[in-house]
Structure 1
Amino acid sequence: MTVRTRFAPSPTGYLHVGGARTALYSYLYAKHTGGNYVLRIEDTDLERSTESAVKAIFEGLEWLGLKEDEGPFFQTQRFPRYFEVIKQMLEQGTAYRCYCSKERIDNLRAEQETRKEKPRYDGKCRHLTDQDISQPHVIRFRNPDEGSVVWDDLILDRIEIANSELDDFVIARTDGSPMYNFCVVVDDLDMRITHVVRGNDHVSNTPKQINLLRALNAPVPQYGHLPMILGSDGQKLSKRHGAVSVIQYRDEGFLPQALLNYLVRLGWSHGDQEIFSMEEMIELFDLNKVNKSAAAFDPKKLLWLNHHYIKTLPAEEVAQHLEWHMADQSIHTGDGPALADVVRAQAERCDNLRTMASASRYFYQDVDQYDEAAVAKQFNATSKAALAGLLPKLEALSDWNAAAIHGAMDAVCQEQSIGFGKIGPALRIALTGAMASPSIDLTAELIGRERVIERVQNALKFIAEKGI
């Protein structure tokens, strides 16, 4: 048997971290077993589904690198197939038409709640014959009266639900449009899904779907229901905990490798190992090792992982993601150092790419102002003389590299009998406008000869104008 998993989001909102973890686990299990991973968009909720949400889901999955083997399939494009199966079920008696009005159903539920009973349809139309099918009606599934639905959940172990607890639920609305639980079953049947990985909020849907599959004489997939993700305070994950769109993590400077590594550990482990490449995830992942208890989302741990990947991934790979942030901040990188060199210079200093981009602006754009506090502290007669002495030495360098630049600065220090602290900070302000940068000799190398000379000249003019 070839394993076939699926990720089936509803496009009623963005792809959040819980959905991303479900997609990741489905993807990993398929790859681990040599199977196929299917992407399906469950868009039958026409009122709430939006094209922008579909695009957001695709964008998030693409950024994460979770490429489907088949799909994407859209439920709204499969209505003829759903109508065909509904007709088949009506003919076989596994479904029936219900003519009860909404008012009757509402009153029935209110009475049941008053009696503290579980709300469920009372079967009034179960055995009707010779009705005028032109009258408004829904289609209900004829749920078994006796017995139980039992399955060995891949994560939660054995689960049993009595059929008496279930309902003759609606599978098609009055307008004929099919309902969620029915569409899912037909899709899983047609797409030959063998393993369903999803959140444990779907546990209540599983017995309904199993009964539907059995009514269609279809194979029943294995189900694995993931515990929910909680905030660090133990409460349901929300925006204040970091439950934002996956693509917002990109916007905030996270690498997809960091988010994937973090998500895989939100409920699964392999010994004490913390860092996993995608290849290792695929090799080691097993649904049987997923925890039954809820996991807590820790933004600090995610940020730590992000910094780890910034420092350890090949700089060229990180640069591909940094390029997006540079463009997002309108920093044009065509005239300046290679982004991979910037990554190498900034990796230890920056734990996210958004910060790295803003902190690297001076490599590509002229410095148009200086930090006032830095100027007050570092621009003085001594630093003025040091910069003035350094300028001709920089102009005379035959090789423009960090070692040669450092040598020129050392020579000024010796000639003027000053410490490096009298020239380094002043040069940093001249080149970057502020006091923070990688080592000043490397910073100068990356900025480039012409720009460095021009900026030192500009700093000297600024100092003269200030009367220092």
Structure 2
Amino acid sequence: MTVIVRFAPSPTGYIHIGNARTALFNWLYAMQNGGQFVLRFDDTDVERSRQEYADATLYDLHWLGIFPDHVKYQSQRFDVYDQAVETLKAKGLLYPCYETEEELELRRKIRRTRKMPPVYGREALALTEQEKAEYEAEGRKPHWRFLLPNFVSDPLEPRSTKVTWNDIIRGKQTVDLASLSDPVLVREDGTYLYTLPSVVDDVDLGITHVIRGDDHVTNTGVQIEIFKALGAEPPTFGHHNLLTTASGEGLSKRSGALSLGGLREDGVEPMSIASLAVLHGTSENVIACHNMLELSEHFDPKTVSKSAAKFDPDELVTLNRTILHQMDFRDAQDRLGAHGVSGERAEEFWNVVRGNLDRLQDAAGWWRIVREGPHEPVLFGEDDLDFVRAAFNVLPEEPWDRTTWKTWTAAVREATGRKGKQLFTPLRLAITGRDSGPELADLLPLIGRDAMLARKP
């Protein structure tokens, strides 16, 4: 059996790091099992869905390193869902309901006051044809509910009915259908809610494994019964914990918080995001993996915790540093060029500065310092000013290499009597305008003697 997984976002906003967690879980599972990855846009909400969001999602996935084998749109498959609806109606498993939302809310309140669960009482099943016609005459259009198999012979007398499956992440899971309302599959305007198209597509596309967030656990119990009602074998399910902010707040496409596009613009490396999104909230240590193959070696669904995975976005900066500090010039070259870092000494420059970068674009600032000097004039006190001028007067002659810094500072120490921090800090400020950064022994050969003399205050 070929493993086929799917990632099914709704194109109603830009995907965030929490969505990336689901996509990556599926991608890595397919990698480990020689399977296929389907990107399916759940765009049945025609009012809120936008092609621009779908395009952005595909771009974000490619940027992460995920390349779908197939791309599908639910909005192009309504005829398939229509057939499934007719199948369920013919079996008596899809029934029309005419209640308004206000009427339904009133019934829920009444049930709560009676210490009963606020589930739908299936009142619509008792409607006569005349009553249905009267509702239609009033202008009411029905929504359609799926009749859950939680009864023996009379659906108005539901009983405890357990649906159980072996979850590849959470282990044995059970949902009691008696605790649920019959789900609405078709709205009054004839459009579909998520539940039915999802099942139909999983059947039609041959999805073997559905890996998604644990907010879908209850929904899975319902969908398993819809699979069976359509004569299909349910896939294997896996439900991972959700990424949340450190305060426990969930992520949302509507808010745009921590969107992949925003993180990319902020200079976060794709493998920093992938490493955190996959390994956080598991028993694995969150380490900076440098490619998907390495990440797949640390990915194990069985290590995922059952509690929410709270994270601090600052963790991405830490991972970013590790990835950049070990990044080969060939992997950074094109992006460095886009920031103006190019030429025959670009590789030497990269190897010198990468250990001091939080984000790749920070290299542009150091490139300017090497070529032009400090961004702003450095203001020295009188003592330090005299010291720096004296130091520049004893600059060694070229050629310069990594030993030049040691030679120069020895000469400065002999000429001025300064040593330690009092010697090094003013020189670093004069050369770079910053009080920290790459080793000056490495920077001096990149700068050269003439450019150094131009920095003499």
| Most deviating of 129-138 and 291-300 | 129-138
Decide whether the 8 Å contact of 1:428 with 1:434 is kept in 2: yes
Aligned to 1:202: 216
| Cα distance in structure 2, aligned partners of 1:118 and 1:420 | 78
Q: 2:162 aligns with which of 148, 161, 176?
A: 148
The answer to whether the aligner puts 1:333 opposite 2:341 as a matched pair is: yes
Query: 1:37: how far off?
Result: 1.4
Contact 1:21 1:264 in 2 (8 A): yes
Match of 2:158 in 1: none
Identify which range, 198-207 or 10-19, moves more after superposition.
Answer: 10-19
CA distance in 2, matches of 1:403, 1:158: 62
1:218 Cα deviation (Å)? 1.2
1:225 aligns to 2:233 (yes or no): no
Change beyond 3 A, Cα 1:116–1:51 = farther
Point out where structure 1 has 5 or more consecutive residues left out of the alignment. Answer: 327-331, 464-468
The residue correspondences of 1:319-468 to structure 2 (distance < 5 A) are: 319-320=333-334, 326=339, 332-334=340-342, 337-338=345-346, 340-363=347-370, 367=374, 369-372=376-379, 375-376=380-381, 380-390=385-395, 397=398, 399=399, 401-403=400-402, 405-406=404-405, 409=408, 413=412, 416=415, 428-447=428-447, 449=448, 453-454=450-451, 456-457=453-454, 459-460=455-456, 463=457
Cα–Cα, structure 1 residues 426 and 150, in superposed 2: closer, same or farther, change >3 Å? Answer: closer
Q: Is the CA contact (8 Å cut-off) linking 1:6 and 1:39 kept in structure 2?
A: yes
Partner in structure 2 of residue 2 of structure 1? 2
Preserved contact between residue 10 and residue 43 of structure 1 (Cα < 8 Å):
yes
Query: What amino acid does structure 2 have at the position aligned with 1:139?
Result: W
Change in 2 beyond 3 A, CA 1:323/1:224: farther
- Cα deviation, residue 143, structure 1: 2.1
Q: What SS class does the counterpart of residue 123 from structure 2 fall into?
A: coil
CA RMSD of aligned residues (A): 3.5
Select between 51-60 and 127-136 the one with higher mean Cα deviation.
Answer: 127-136
Per the alignment, do residues 403 and 267 of structure 1 end up closer, same or farther by CA in structure 2, a change over 3 Å counting? closer
Give, in angstroms, the shift of residue 39 of structure 1: 1.3
Structure 1 equivalent of residue 226 of structure 2: 212
The equivalent residue for 1:90 is: 89
* Contact 1:336–1:364 under 8 Å retained in 2: no
Identity percentage of aligned residues: 32
Checking the alignment, whether the CA contact within 8 Å between 1:32 and 1:285 is kept in structure 2 is no
Counterparts of 2:49 and 2:24, CA distance in 1: 23
Residue 176 to residue 415, structure 1, CA distance change in 2 (3 Å) = same
Match of 1:295 among 302, 309, 334: 309
- Give the stretch that moved more between structures: 142-151 or 272-281: 272-281
Q: What is residue 31 of structure 1 aligned with on the other side? A: 31
Distance in 2, Cα, partners of 1:165 & 1:288:
28
Aligned CA distance change for structure 1 residues 238 and 354 (closer, same or farther; 3 Å): farther
- Which of the numbers 135, 138, 142 marks the counterpart of 2:143? 138
Asked whether the equivalents of residues 148 and 225 of structure 2 are also in contact (C-alpha less than 8 Å), the reply is: yes
Whether the 8 Å CA contact 1:149–1:161 is kept in 2: the answer is yes
Match of 1:251 among 248, 260, 265: 265
- Could you give the per-residue CA deviations for residues 403-453 of structure 1, whole angstroms, max 9, x where no partner exists? 475487369649957668798666644543344442334223334x4xx62
Distance 1:323 1:293, change over 3 A: farther
Q: Distance in 1 between matches of 2:303 and 2:404?
A: 55
Contact 1:362 1:432 in 2 (8 A): yes
Partner of 1:167: 181
Maintained 8 Å contact 2:288/2:323 = no
Shift of 1:243: 6.1
TM value normalised by structure 2 = 0.82
How big is the shift at 1:347? 2.9
Change (3 A) 1:365 1:195: farther
> SS in structure 2 opposite 1:204?
helix
Please list every run of 5 or more consecutive structure 2 residues that lacks an aligned counterpart in the other structure. 152-160
2:117 and 2:333 map into 1 onto residues whose CA distance is 57
C-alpha distance in 1 between matches for 2:394 and 2:303: 66
Q: Distance in 2 between matches of 1:429 and 1:300?
A: 28
Q: Distance in 1 between matches of 2:410 and 2:299?
A: 58
* CA shift in 2, pair 1:429/1:42, >3 Å: same
The corresponding residue for 2:156 is none
176 and 199 in structure 1: CA distance in 2 versus 1, 3 angstrom threshold: same
Counterpart Cα distance in 1 of 2:318 and 2:149:
52
Greater mean alpha carbon deviation, residues 99-108 or residues 89-98: 99-108
Report if aligned partners of 1:95, 1:141 keep a CA contact under 8 Å in 2: yes
TM-superposition CA deviations, 1:288-316 (whole Å, max 9, x none): 33333333324455433332222223243
Contact 1:39 1:70 in 2 (8 A): yes
The answer to whether the Cα contact below 8 Å between 1:254 and 1:352 also exists between their aligned partners in 2 is yes
Conserved in 2, the CA contact under 8 Å of 1:378 and 1:425?
A: no
Structure 1 counterpart SS, 2:20: helix
User: Could you tell me how far 1:202 is from its partner in structure 2?
Assistant: 1.0
Q: Are the structure 2 counterparts of residues 426 and 456 from structure 1 closer, same or farther at C-alpha, using a change threshold of 3 Å?
A: farther
Residues 348 and 368 (structure 1), Cα distance of their counterparts in 2 relative to 1, 3 Å cut: closer
Determine the structure 2 residue equivalent to 1:100. 99
Report how far residue 91 of structure 1 moved: 3.0
- Cα deviation, residue 31, structure 1: 0.8
Which of 320, 331, 338 matches 1:306? 320
Which amino acid counterpart does residue 235 of structure 2 have in structure 1? P
The amino acid that maps onto 1:376 is G
Task: Give matches, 1:51-66, under 5 Å.
Answer: 51-66=51-66
2:341 partner letter: T
Rounded Cα–Cα distance in structure 2 between residues aligned with 1:208 and 1:244: 31
TM-score by length of 1: 0.80
Change (3 A) 1:376 1:61: farther
Deviations 1:55-84 (A, max 9, x none): 44334322221222221x222222222223
Q: Write the letter of the residue equivalent to 1:85.
A: A
Distance of 2:51 and 2:85 partners within structure 1: 28
Structure 2: distance between partners of 1:437 and 1:158: 53
Match of 2:122 in 1: 123
Using the TM superposition, name which of 299-308 and 125-134 deviates more: 125-134
Please give the alpha-carbon distance, in whole angstroms, between the structure 1 residues aligned to 2:366 and 2:264: 17
Q: Does the Cα contact within 8 Å between 1:4 and 1:192 map onto a contact in 2?
A: yes
Alignment match, 2:13: 13
> What's the offset of the Cα at 1:371?
2.8
Q: State the alpha-carbon separation in 1 of the partners of residues 74 and 257 from structure 2.
A: 27
Q: Distance in 2 between matches of 1:168 and 1:232?
A: 36
